[in-house]
């Protein structure tokens, strides 16, 4: 494509887009026709197929990834006065889910390769009140899980994998979500597969699986017999039906994301003003996001200004995610010091995610590459 065409054509490229065809609509219509709308055979089959796909023994389908985080922690025994170590850079419910159980989320800094939790900082945050660790596989990239599990075993802590973004990503040959004590996935529209909303709990522990199933359904042990605290966290049948279709397309969807990411990296990895994503190996990342960091020493504009420049060129981009310790919801735990989280602060000032999804065309990807280079050339120091 010529430069002239790139300048003349108007683009409107969103950051994410679900990959649907008529199969999802047909599957959803079958549910409506069946009139079985909550936790029926489609959800049960979705659970079974998802377990088979990522090689775990037990799966529990729920209403969202945030539901899954809350249920899993309740099953693990998190309660009032406990502390749970979480990364300072992640979606908010990784941390707030503990608060619903009366526990305190304790923030650990990230490391600047995978953008997962820094194991060295986790050690510093463990106290007598610590109950567990929730590592996040950010942007579909498996974090330093082995080291985190070693720390957890040393201190007698649980490991709850937040694999909300990491469908089919592996760590040392094993699918994430099935390596720690328990794992969770999300199926919101930006994920490699979606059910609209929806989430999945994954584990190889039968006792934890049974507890999660009870909590998901009001902790109903019989017909209107509630022995402990539970709530309505069930997955609607239509989500299960759509999930079955999406699951069949998941491997191809991840491969298509890899193709977009490879195109970006080939064009941008030698650009001094940009730090492209670290890739340990292709199995360990699904490119749920394609996150770059800007080198402030090479540019005269801020990250937010860079995002605005992309927007003017018809490209949506965004910071995923801001520092949690600066969010008002956590003020109840006192003041935090930015100096305790140097890598998270660095990330929050320099990172942005570019559009990536299966339907992104080569022409659109090339326009994004061209635009990034154009902005760099315009504002380079």
Residues 344, 110: Cα–Cα separation, whole Å: 6
48 catalytically annotated: no
Burial class (CB in 10 A: 0-12, 13-18, 19+), 319: middle
Burial 39-72 (b: 16+ CB within 10 A, else e): bbebbeebbeebbebbebebbbbbbbbbbbbbbb
CA atoms within 13 A on the CB side of 258: 16
191, 211, 213, 249: which is the annotated catalytic residue? Answer: 191
Q: 157, 130 in Cβ contact below 8 A? A: yes
Question: Distances from the Cα of 157 to the Cαs of 82, 98, 337, 351, in angstroms?
Answer: 11, 15, 26, 31
SS3 (DSSP) at 220: strand
Residues 185, 200: Cα–Cα separation, whole Å: 5
3-state secondary structure 283-294: HHECCCCEEEEE
Question: Distances from the Cα of 298 to the Cαs of 277, 303, 305, 360, 378, in angstroms?
Answer: 18, 12, 14, 29, 11
CA atoms within 13 A on the CB side of 346: 17
Nearest to 151 by CA among 168, 135, 129: 135
For 90-113, the DSSP string reads S-THHHHHHHTTT-EEEEE-B-TT
Question: Distances from the Cα of 42 to the Cαs of 36, 55, 240, 243, in angstroms?
Answer: 9, 19, 5, 9
Residues 183, 202: Cα–Cα separation, whole Å: 5
275: Cα separation from own chain's centroid:
21
Q: 15, 316 in Cβ contact below 8 A? A: yes
Nearest to 328 by CA among 4, 109, 46, 95: 95
Residues 201, 378: Cα–Cα separation, whole Å: 47
Catalytic residues, which ones? Answer: 191
């Amino acid at each position: 494509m010529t430069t002239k065409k790139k300048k003349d054509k108007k683009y409107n490229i969103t950051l994410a887009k679900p990959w649907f065809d008529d199969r999802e609509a047909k599957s959803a219509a079958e549910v409506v026709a069946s009139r079985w709308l909550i936790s029926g055979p489609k959800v049960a089959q979705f659970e079974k197929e998802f377990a088979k796909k990522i090689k775990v023994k037990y799966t529990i389908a729920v209403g969202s990834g945030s539901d899954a985080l809350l249920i899993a922690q309740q099953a693990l025994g998190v309660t009032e006065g406990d502390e749970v170590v979480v990364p300072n850079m992640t979606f908010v419910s990784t941390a707030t889910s503990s608060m619903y159980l009366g526990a305190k989320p304790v923030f650990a800094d990230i490391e600047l390769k995978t953008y997962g939790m820094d194991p060295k900082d986790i050690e510093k945050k463990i106290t007598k009140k610590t109950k567990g660790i929730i590592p996040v596989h950010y942007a579909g990239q498996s974090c330093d899980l082995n080291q985190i599990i070693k720390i957890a075993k040393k201190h007698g802590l649980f490991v709850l994998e937040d694999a909300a973004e990491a469908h089919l990503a592996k760590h040392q040959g094993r699918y994430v979500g099935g390596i720690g004590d328990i794992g969770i996935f999300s199926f919101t529209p930006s994920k490699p597969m979606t059910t609209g909303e929806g989430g999945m709990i994954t584990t190889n522990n039968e006792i934890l699986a049974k507890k999660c199933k009870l909590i998901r359904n009001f902790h109903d042990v019989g017909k209107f017999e509630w022995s402990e605290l539970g709530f309505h966290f069930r997955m609607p049948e239509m989500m299960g039906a759509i999930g079955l279709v999406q699951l069949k397309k998941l491997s191809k969807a991840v491969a298509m994301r890899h193709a977009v990411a490879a195109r970006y990296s080939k064009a941008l990895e030698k650009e001094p003003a940009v730090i492209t994503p670290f890739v340990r190996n292709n199995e360990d990342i699904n490119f749920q996001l394609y996150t770059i960091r800007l080198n402030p020493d090479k540019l005269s504009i801020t990250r937010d200004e860079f995002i605005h420049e992309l927007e003017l060129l018809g490209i949506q981009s965004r910071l995923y995610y801001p520092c949690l310790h600066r969010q008002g919801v956590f003020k109840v735990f006192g003041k935090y010091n930015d100096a305790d989280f140097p890598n998270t602060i660095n990330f929050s000032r320099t990172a942005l995610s570019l559009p990536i999804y299966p339907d992104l065309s080569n022409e659109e990807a090339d326009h994004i590459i061209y635009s990034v280079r154009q902005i760099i050339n315009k504002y380079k120091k």
